[in-house]
Amino acid sequence: MMSNELSDFLLQLLNTPSPTGMTEQAVSLIEAEVRALGVETRRSRKGGLSWTLPGADSGAGHLALSAHADTLGAMVKAVLPNGRLRLTQLGGYDWASIEGEYVTVHGQHGVSVTGTVVNDFQSFHVFAPQLRELRRSGDNLEVRLDALTFSREDTRALGLEVGDFVSFEPRAVLTPAGYLKSRHIDNKASVAILLEVTRQLLKTPAPMTVGCFITTYEEVGHGAAPGFGEASEVIALDMAAVGRGQTSSEHHVTLCVKDSSGPYDHALGNRLRRAAQSAGIDLKMDIYPYYSSDASAAWGAGHDLPAALIGPGVDASHAYERTHLDALEATVALVLAYCHA
């Protein structure tokens, strides 16, 4: 059974803002957790985190496991004459998915101001005809700040300006039935899974050396572009997208065999299938047409190593997401089965 440490840490991580480009607080939290296990960590120049778990057999190979700590978010694109804010996206999502969300605007000098994303015609009693036809976009959504501001000058006096980061409130809830619903399960669930794998490998070392990598720019496409050091193969841990026409499930781990970057390594995928079969894990196989990962970013940067993509099933990806503890447990089990195969 999965340890409470995984779910407890995941909830803490979900409640730590880390939009792409502003990940230091989350990475520091992860780093402290790893160091508390007695494991030495390293930082990359791009702000990523890594650590190595030596294998029991020096000839058994070197596996890299990756997960990303950065999430969807926004930045201030403009301060409007009425003191509200226009946004530019960090990562890919439908603008409609953030309407009504609570946000925090992180100013440059330590100030943080909360707010709500609303559209220019939010009041149905005033703008009913416009609302019925409105397609949400960056041109008609704005942040209504929870501060006494009525002009551009008022907002700037608060310490807010163009270029400030904006994080979305995660609303993280673990239900009695074992469902976790929150923003940013992509990909903080996989970070927590990687921590649990680390705990288990410290108790029972694998034959192979395992390098763990936390990247910080995956949502904008170049998180793992620097590669994975001395690794001979990489398995990226990221969400499996649940939806109509897909095989992925909130209760299972999935092997993604192809996404928008093309097929992943066939031989490595087959080794993962065999590991799942030997361990009695119900592994789903799926294809995601609008998806890429740290593994595909590493390939795109020219790194010559086989790559695979696995992860827990997550419903409503890049919106208010949901998964089940079953899927997290199954992903941990698959990684451990592969490491010990």
Find out whether the peptide bond into 140 is cis, omega within 30 degrees of 0: no
Q: Say which of 218, 233, 250, 321 is annotated catalytic.
A: 218
Contact 131, 121 (CB under 8 A): yes
User: If we measure between CA atoms, which residue out of 286, 274, 276 comes closest to residue 245?
Assistant: 286
DSSP 278-341: HHT---EEEE-TT---HHHHHHHTT--S-EEEEEEEEESTTSSEEEEHHHHHHHHHHHHHHHT-
In this structure, the strands spanning 179-182 and 173-174 are antiparallel
Residue type, 33: E
For 174, counting Cβ atoms within 10 Å of its Cβ (0-12 exposed, 13-18 middle, 19+ buried), the class is: middle
Residue showing tokens 């995941």: 10
Across the strands, what pairs with 240?
313
Which segments within 120-269 are labelled E, that is strand? 141-145, 165-168, 173-174, 179-182, 209-215, 233-237, 240-242, 253-259, 262-263
The continuous run of DSSP H or E covering 24 comes out as: helix 24-36
DSSP for residue 274:
H
| Annotated binding-site positions | 68, 186, 219, 238, 318
Structure tokens at 70: 């950065």
Q: How far apart are CA 93 and CA 182, in angstroms?
A: 15
Annotation marks residue 218 as catalytic = yes
| Annotated binding-site positions for Zn(2+) | 68, 186, 219, 238, 318
Beta-carbon neighbour count of residue 202 at 10 Å? 12
Counting every residue written for the chain, the total comes to 341
For 338, counting Cβ atoms within 10 Å of its Cβ (0-12 exposed, 13-18 middle, 19+ buried), the class is: buried
**Active-site annotation, residues:** 218
